Chains A and B, each alone.
Chain A
Amino acid sequence: MTSLSRPRPGSCLRAATGLAGVLLLSACASTPPAPTAQLQAAQQAITSAERADASRHAAGELSAARAKLASAKTAVQAEQMVAAERLAGESRVEAELAAARTTFVKARIVNDEMQSSTGTLIDEMQRKSGDAK
């Protein structure tokens, strides 16, 4: 037992020291960089959705995207950079969804108008030929 365990203590210690060092290092690098690129991407996605009039056609998604970005900025201030990065990413997809739904709603409005004007046209024609008979 002892002969077996003897060579180990040293390496175990070294491993433990190494681990502690890594932990300390990561803690000591204290302020990791803020996820600037992700925050910017989220802001851009929001601006783009706003330009497409998402506040009118996808208001829920747009305000969720804004709230996520605000949370991401709060997390940056609290130096919770991992959380900040995730929140920024979520804000971005939420804003992209707002834009996609806005495009969809606009397309639907166009189609509804086309459909209803075509319907009116067909009705008119049927009435016209009906009157003639």
Chain B
Amino acid sequence: MKTIDDRVAVGRTLIAAAVAAVLLAGCAAAPAAPEGASEVRAKLTQLQSDSNLASRAPAAIKEADAAVRTAEQPEADRSLGEHRVYIADRKVEIASAQAQTRYLEDERARITAERASAQLDSRTREVDMAREATADAKEENAELQRQIDALKAKPTDRGLVLTLGDVLFESGRAELKPGATSNLGQLVAFLAKYPSRTVAIEGHTDSVGGDDYNVGLSQRRADSVRSHLVSRGVDAARISAMGAGESAPVASNESAAGRQQNRRVEVIISNPALAAL
């Protein structure tokens, strides 16, 4: 009997101790989730509320969320709690890395579009510039034509040929007549406007008089024109001058009218397009 009573007492003590232990364990575990769980939750919440990322790794975020919920459960086994927090933390990080990767991949379409649009802009600009250049060239050609017309020059294989009649000179003289310079004014202007063009000046006479005389006279007349151009600012290096005498008539020397045509100075303006080629 006594022994039974003793056992009962021991049993009661054991039960009380067990209850106390359970209560104690309950008290220790109840307060909160394992240490670190709230930080992991905060990290996950941040990821979920990032509009650039939240929708980009739904499966990984869902998995991370489940791991965080497990980690948040009060756990008496401290090391199990730590383990769960560790797993949850890495799963959140994995979800975050995946979402960011996906974001970067999606960005590529934007970068490519930006690039394409920049290329398109550039091409449009190039076309505009080319069109402008064409318009400029057309305008330039038209202007040149106007100048040539004003000069009364004739386009030939040798270039533009401007024929200055004998009105420039007194008979037998090589000095330009005072009024002649205004005739040359347009040539000076033309050469100033088109500095890449060079000119060859050729003096010609009719058949009256000796050959040597005529060559000398035509040379002096060509030189006069050259000097005049140089005095008006045309670079001497652009101008050559020669006397052809009576060797290259353009009309018959039989008639007075023909002889007058033959007495002339020709200014041959080089064609820059050919020179450039």
Contact = CB atoms under 8 A, between A and B. Distances in A.
A105 to B, nearest CB: 9
Given A96-B94, A100-B97, A125 B83 contact: no
B11 A9 contact: yes
Nearest to B3: A9
B111 A101 contact: no
Contact of A104 (B80, B101, B114, B129): B101
B170 interface: no
B91 interface: yes
Given A8-B11, A121-B115, A90 B83 contact: yes
Given A9-B11, A118-B111, A128-B122, A107 B4 contact: no
Instruction: Classify chain B's interface size.
Output: 35 or more
B8 A8 contact: yes
B100 interface: yes
A97 B96 CA distance: 10
> Main SS of the interface on chain B?
helix
Interface stretch (B102-110, B173-181, B224-232): B102-110
A97 B12 CA distance: 53
B10 to A, nearest CB: 9
A89 B80 CA distance: 12
Contacts of A97: 90, 93-94, 97
B118 interface: yes
Contact of B108 (A96, A100, A114): A114
Interface of B: 4-5, 7-8, 11-12, 14-15, 79-80, 83, 86-87, 90-91, 93-94, 97-98, 100-101, 104-105, 107-108, 111-112, 114-115, 118-119, 121-122, 125, 129
The 7 closest A-B pairs by CB, nearest first: A100-B97, A93-B90, A125-B122, A107-B104, A12-B11, A118-B115, A86-B83
